[in-house]
Amino acid sequence: MTICHIDMLGNKLKDEDTVVYSHHNNLILGVIKRSTPRMLILQAVGKRSSTDRKYPSEVLLIDDPKITIYMIKNSK
């Protein structure tokens, strides 16, 4: 059984996609590490490299070359 999640704009999400999500009062750039039947396990990029769990409707898929450059510069 494959899990098909959809973000807030209707884009299909899969593992290793780059997404933006909120955490408290911040906007975090992260990568989908794993999908469960209801939630996504997200790995934050940059100095705050912890994991978060979010519903698919709480994230936004990002597909921009500038984001890739940012991730290369700020990843450990």
User: How many other C-beta atoms can be found within 10 angstroms of the C-beta atom of residue 7?
Assistant: 20
Q: What is the pLDDT of residues 37-53, one digit of tens each?
A: 999 999 998 776 789 99
Ranges of residues in the chain with a pLDDT under 70 are 1, 48, 75-76
Q: What pTM does this model have?
A: 0.83
CB pairs under 8 A, 24+ apart, for 40-46? Answer: 40/5, 40/13, 45/70, 45/71, 45/74, 45/75, 46/74, 46/75
